[in-house]
């Protein structure tokens, strides 16, 4: 599962019926690449999240008929690592040394 940041939503009136009226969140990775994801956990703009891809993305919506290939799996509170010295965490990720 990849780590992404919620930066907004896309407005998309003309869309596939399999996406219903679901909010489509705009996410960004650390390289500035944008992707679109469905969001069953109501993440807020600014949240760091991890995303589930592939067929698991449909099941994660609680309804495999939702035609998504990327779903937010959860909001990251912080992370814990014992190797902060050896491996540089990216400054913009919410890190906390264990």
Pairwise CA distance, residues 67 & 17, whole Å: 9
The residue assigned the tokens 């814990």 is 80
Under rule CB under 8 A, residue 22 binds a copy of itself: no
11 burial level (CB within 10 Å; 0-12, 13-18, 19+): exposed
Under rule CB under 8 A, residue 20 binds a copy of itself: no
Under rule CB under 8 A, residue 1 binds a copy of itself: yes
Q: Give 14's DSSP letter.
A: S
Pick the binder of a copy of itself from 13, 21, 85, 91 (CB under 8 A): 13
The two tokens of residue 35 are 């992707």
Q: Smallest distance from the beta carbon of 21 to a copy of itself, in angstroms?
A: 12
Pick the binder of a copy of itself from 9, 20, 85, 91 (CB under 8 A): 9
Pairwise CA distance, residues 73 & 53, whole Å: 10
Which residues lie near a copy of itself (CB under 8 A)? 1-3, 7-19, 24, 26, 28, 32, 34-37, 40-41, 45-46, 50, 52-60, 62, 65, 67-83, 87-88, 90, 93, 98
């Amino acid at each position: 599962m990849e780590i992404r940041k919620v930066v907004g939503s896309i407005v998309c009136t003309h869309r596939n019926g399999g996406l219903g009226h679901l909010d489509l969140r705009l996410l960004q990775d650390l390289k500035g690449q944008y992707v679109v994801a469905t969001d069953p956990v109501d993440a807020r703009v600014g949240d760091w999240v991890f995303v589930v891809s592939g067929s698991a993305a449909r099941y994660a919506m609680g309804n495999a008929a939702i035609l998504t290939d990327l779903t937010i799996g959860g909001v990251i509170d912080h992370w814990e690592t014992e190797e902060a010295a050896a491996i540089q965490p990216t400054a913009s990720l919410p890190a906390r040394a264990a």
